[in-house]
Structure 1
Amino acid sequence: MVKLEHAGEAPAVTILVVEDEFFIRMDIADTLREKPGVIVIEARTADDGWEYIATNGPVDVLFTDHRLPGFMTGSQLAARVSQEYPMTKVVVTSAHFDGTEWTGPVLDKPYDSNKIAANLVELARKKG
């Protein structure tokens, strides 16, 4: 199936939000959905996030909390995705980062959802 796009319309981007706190996840996911051309996938655990990617293929951006319930932390998910899907951009966030698996930058919580959503969409649309 060929997807036709209107002139000047940016192609859709997919952002996976992994956050166990329902209201935080809902806030950032809903803010992202307000942006044109953004597909948002939500997961409560890193395990669920990995299952989505393993089943459906890579996303443009993974936005994950560090501390999550389950077998894998968000930092472990971030490291795994970065290794296995290097074209996927990864953003880790945490109020209390204590991980060693992720060596990239960590966005402090709390954050401004509008500002972060705009930054995530911009990041998703960047090539390379």
Structure 2
Amino acid sequence: MDIAPILLVEDDFLIRATLAAYLRERGGFTIVEADDATEALAVIEAYPRLSILVTDIQIPGMLNGVGVAAAARRKWPDLPVLYVTGAWPRDGESTGGDKRDSYVEKPFEVSAILRRIRTMLHGADNPDFLT
């Protein structure tokens, strides 16, 4: 199956680089990295499709991760979004609670992110993707 790239939006270089390398090496994914909202929006504009958006909620730029997800979903309405964050939305701020959304709280193990991505992309019914 042809898997489109994953957009990884994270402003902490070490977290982004470590997670991107792990997802490439262990998951076999193509990863497109962005460290702020402006870069993320440029990727969304440039790419014909993405398989999943993995984003922190608090990122530099004119939008936070929730805003980047909304922009991506204007182009790809069914795009799954994995929020990897240490900062849950404040009261009154929502990610929309979309059924395609998932959350992993920082700090995390990179293997947990890979498992969650595989589950989101391939479903929990296929154990071959979860190992």
Bin the TM-score by the shorter chain.
0.7 to 0.9
CA distances 1:59-96 after superposition (whole Å, capped 9, x unpaired): 00000000011111111111222243113211112112
Secondary structure of the structure 1 residue equivalent to 2:30 = strand
Counterpart for residue 108 of structure 1? 105
Question: Structure 1 residue 21: deviation in Å?
Answer: 0.1
Unaligned runs of 5+ in 2: 124-131
Q: 1:13 to 1:56 in 2, by over 3 A?
A: closer
Does the CA-based 8 Å contact 1:78-1:92 persist in structure 2? no
Matches within 5 A, 1:77-96: 77-96=68-87
Moved more, 36-45 or 93-102: 93-102
Q: Which has the higher contact order (CA 8 A, sep 6+)?
A: 1
Distance between the aligned counterparts of 2:122 and 2:59, measured in 1?
A: 27
Matches within 5 A, 1:2-13: 10-13=1-4
Unaligned runs of 5+ in 1: 1-9
TM-score normalised per structure 1:
0.79
Does the CA-based 8 Å contact 2:3-2:51 persist in structure 1? no
Counterpart for residue 121 of structure 2? 124
Question: Amino acid of the residue matched to residue 121 of structure 1?
Answer: R
Larger radius of gyration: 1
Does the CA-based 8 Å contact 1:38-1:121 persist in structure 2? no
Question: Structure 1 residue 58: deviation in Å?
Answer: 2.5
**Percent of aligned pairs with the same residue?**
26
Counterpart for residue 43 of structure 2? 52
Question: Structure 1 residue 36: deviation in Å?
Answer: 5.2
Counterpart for residue 68 of structure 1? 59
Counterpart for residue 127 of structure 2? none
- The root-mean-square deviation of aligned C-alpha atoms, in Å, is 1.9
Question: Structure 1 residue 101: deviation in Å?
Answer: 4.5
Moved over 6 A (4+): none
Does the CA-based 8 Å contact 1:18-1:43 persist in structure 2? yes
